[in-house]
Chains A and B, each alone.
Chain A
Amino acid sequence: MTEPALKIAGLTRSYGGKVVVDNLDLQVEVGDVYGFLGPNGAGKTTTMRMILGLIGRDAGTVKLFGLDDPIASRARLGGIVEGPKFYPYLSGRENLRVFAAYSGGVPESRIDELLERVRLRDRAGDAVRTYSLGMRQRLGIAQALLARPSLLLLDEPTNGLDPHGQKEVRDLIGELREAEDLTVFISSHLLFEIEALCTRVGIIDNGRKIAEGTTEELLEEGESLEDCFLRLTATGGQIR
Chain B
Amino acid sequence: MTPNVGLIGLCGAEWRKIRGRGLVWAVLIFGGLHGLLAVALLKGLQILNDKQLPEPVDLYSWLEPVATALGFAAFPVNGFVLLLLASIVWAEDHSLGTLAMIFVRPVQRWKVFVSKVLVIVAVTALSLLCAVLVAALLGMVLFGFSGELAQAPPIPFYSWMGAFEGTGARLGRIALGVLYAVVVLAPPLCVAAFVANVSRSPVLTLFGTIIILLVDFFVWAGGSAWAGLKLSGGETAGKVVEWTIWGSRRFFEAYTLPEAAADASWQPLLATVGYCGLFLGLGLLLMSRRDIT
- Which A residues have a C-beta under 8 Å from some C-beta of B? 49, 52-56, 71-72, 74-75, 77-82, 84-90, 94, 97-99, 101-105, 143, 147
Contact = CB atoms under 8 A, between A and B. Distances in A.
B3 A103 contact: yes
A54 B9 contact: no
A84 B100 CA distance: 9
Contacts of A98: 13, 16-17
Contacts, number: 100
Interface string B90-128: 000000111011111111100010000000000000000
A74 B100 contact: no
26 contacts: A49-B291, A52-B100, A52-B104, A53-B104, A54-B291, A54-B292, A55-B293, A72-B2, A74-B104, A78-B104, A82-B97, A82-B100, A85-B101, A87-B20, A87-B96, A87-B98, A90-B16, A90-B17, A90-B20, A98-B13, A102-B5, A104-B3, A104-B9, A105-B9, A147-B3, A147-B106
Given A89-B21, A104-B3, A147 B104 contact: no
Contacts of A74: 104-106
Nearest to B13: A101
B6 interface: yes
A87 B17 contact: yes
Say whether chain B's binding surface is mostly helix, strand, loop, or mixed.
Answer: loop
Contacts of A87: 17, 20, 96, 98
A103 to B, nearest CB: 5
Interface of B: 1-6, 9-10, 12-13, 16-17, 20-21, 96-98, 100-108, 112, 291-293
Greatest chain B CB density within 10 A among A74, A80, A143 is at A74
A90 B96 CA distance: 13
Given A53-B104, A54-B100, A79-B104, A104 B4 contact: yes
Given A87-B98, A90-B20, A101 B12 contact: yes
Given A101-B12, A101-B16, A104-B4, 6 more contacts: A54-B293, A71-B2, A75-B3, A75-B106, A81-B100, A102-B107
Contacts of B103: 52-54
A71 B106 contact: yes
Contacts of A81: 100, 104
B5 A104 contact: yes
A1 B108 CA distance: 31
A53 to B, nearest CB: 7
The list of the 6 closest CB pairs from A to B, nearest first, reads: A104-B3, A85-B97, A101-B13, A55-B291, A75-B106, A54-B292
Nearest to A88: B96
A99 B105 contact: yes
A103 B13 contact: no
B98 A104 contact: no
Contact of B5 (A54, A77, A103, A143): A103
Contact of B104 (A56, A77, A90): A77
Contacts of B96: 85-88
A55 B20 CA distance: 30
B102 A56 contact: no
A83 to B, nearest CB: 8
B16 A75 contact: no
Contacts of A88: 96
Contacts of B104: 52-54, 74, 77-79, 81
B96 to A, nearest CB: 5
Contact of B101 (A99, A104, A105): A99
A208 B171 CA distance: 70
B16 A102 contact: no
A54 B94 CA distance: 13
A86 B20 CA distance: 12
B98 A49 contact: no
Nearest to B102: A102
A101 B17 contact: no
B1 A86 contact: no
B1 A75 contact: yes
Nearest to B5: A104
A77 B105 CA distance: 8
Contacts of B20: 87, 89-90, 94
Contacts of A71: 2, 106-108
B10 A102 contact: yes
A74 B3 CA distance: 10
Contacts of A82: 97, 100
Contacts of A75: 1-3, 106
A56 B292 CA distance: 9
Contacts of B3: 75, 103-105, 147
Contacts of A78: 104
Task: Identify the interface centre among A90, A97, A102: most chain B CB within 10 Å of its CB.
Answer: A102
